[in-house]
Amino acid sequence: MKKNADPQPQMVLKVNEATLDFGGLRALSRVNMTINPGLITSIIGPNGAGKTSLLNCISGFYHLTKGEIKYGDKYLTHSSPHQVTKLGIARAFQNLELFSGLTVLDNLLLARHTNLKYNFFQALIYVGKASRLEAENRAHVEDVIDFMELEPYRKSTVGNLAYGIQKRVEVARALTLDPQLLLLDEPMAGMNIEEKEDMVRYIIDIQKESDATVVLVEHDLGVVMDISDRIYVLDFGELIGSGTPEEVVKIPKVVEAYIGEE
């Protein structure tokens, strides 16, 4: 995949004292994280640990009860998903957020609509800026299709594809936005071993070839240990450990809560 010709500067994502309440339920409790640029950082923990809730707060779908989230010099704490996307942050969802009745190509082109910055008159006559931007966006989408090896499915209706291919389209949809920060929420859930191996290769290539920062939520501990530069561990909304893969497996609380005794 080609690097963005005009890349945004890489920035640190900081989560400070993040607390999230739903009525009487506390989903996150004073969570602190520093996501350094250019790395693969994984967030792990049992079901209900708060992993997806944290991604929802970063991407603007939830707003913290207390604390703050900062990306570079921009505060995301009260931002909308649209505002977060404009900062170069993209999200692939655990539950597919695709248009099942459209083709793979149309889904990816639709994801690029925020890049089509021309007025009504330019769109009406479809010359000059409008036609140039349409051509540039289509070329970028075709590049993503090639990168994610979706060429055989580009004209296929998404709803008719195998689940593993749909998960790949979901990641491709996020990639069309040229993200500097890519949030992946269980991109390998429901996949077989071969499909997981392919997705691991795509994630590594995304990080290397586009210089993107990757935040990965994943249950497969083997995958996490193999590809992560740093790991954060949540349990019942609290951060119970962090460090390199080698460091995390030695933290007693992490072993007890998630990894399990040998």
**Contact between 179 and 88 (Cβ < 8 Å):** yes
Question: How confident is the model at residue 125, as a pLDDT?
Answer: 47
pTM: 0.86
User: How far is residue 108's CA from residue 119's CA, in Å, rounded to a whole number?
Assistant: 22
Share of residues in the chain with pLDDT > 70 (%): 86
Q: Where are the beta strands (DSSP E) in the chain?
A: 13-22, 25-35, 40-44, 66-71, 74-75, 89-92, 181-185, 213-217, 230-235, 238-243
Buried b / exposed e across 164-200, counting CB within 10 Å, b at 16+? bbbbbbbbbbbbbbbbbbbbbbbbbeebeeebbebbb
User: Both tokens of residue 152?
Assistant: 């055989």
- Is it the case that residue 262 has pLDDT exceeding 80? no
Q: Is 47 exposed, middle or buried (0-12, 13-18, 19+ CB in 10 A)?
A: exposed
* Greater pLDDT, 256 or 197: 197
Mean pLDDT over 105-132 rounds to 62
Confidence band (pLDDT; 50, 70, 90) for 258?
low
User: How far is residue 253's CA from residue 160's CA, in Å, rounded to a whole number?
Assistant: 44
Which DSSP state fits 218? Answer: -
User: Both tokens of residue 213?
Assistant: 């920062």
Confidence band (pLDDT; 50, 70, 90) for 199?
very high
Q: Where are the beta strands (DSSP E) in 36-120?
A: 40-44, 66-71, 74-75, 89-92
Output the 3-class SS for 72-88: CCEECCCCCHHHHHHCC
- Is it the case that residue 207 has pLDDT exceeding 60? yes
Highest mean pLDDT among 54-63, 123-132, 217-226: 54-63
Confidence band (pLDDT; 50, 70, 90) for 174?
very high
Mean pLDDT of the chain: 87
Question: How confident is the model at residue 119, as a pLDDT?
Answer: 46
Task: Delimit the CATH 3.40.50.300 region(s) of the chain.
Answer: 1-88+179-262
Highest mean pLDDT among 15-19, 123-127, 130-134: 15-19
Q: How many residues does the chain have?
A: 262
User: Both tokens of residue 247?
Assistant: 């460091």
| pLDDT per residue as tens digits for the range 26-69 | 999 999 999 999 999 999 998 889 999 999 999 999 999 999 99
- Is it the case that residue 124 has pLDDT exceeding 60? no
**Contact between 48 and 236 (Cβ < 8 Å):** yes
Question: How confident is the model at residue 20, as a pLDDT?
Answer: 97
User: How far is residue 13's CA from residue 129's CA, in Å, rounded to a whole number?
Assistant: 34
CATH superfamily to which 1-88+179-262 belongs: P-loop containing nucleotide triphosphate hydrolases (3.40.50.300)
Question: How confident is the model at residue 146, as a pLDDT?
Answer: 94
- Is it the case that residue 8 has pLDDT exceeding 70? no
Confidence band (pLDDT; 50, 70, 90) for 118?
very low
Residue type, 190: G
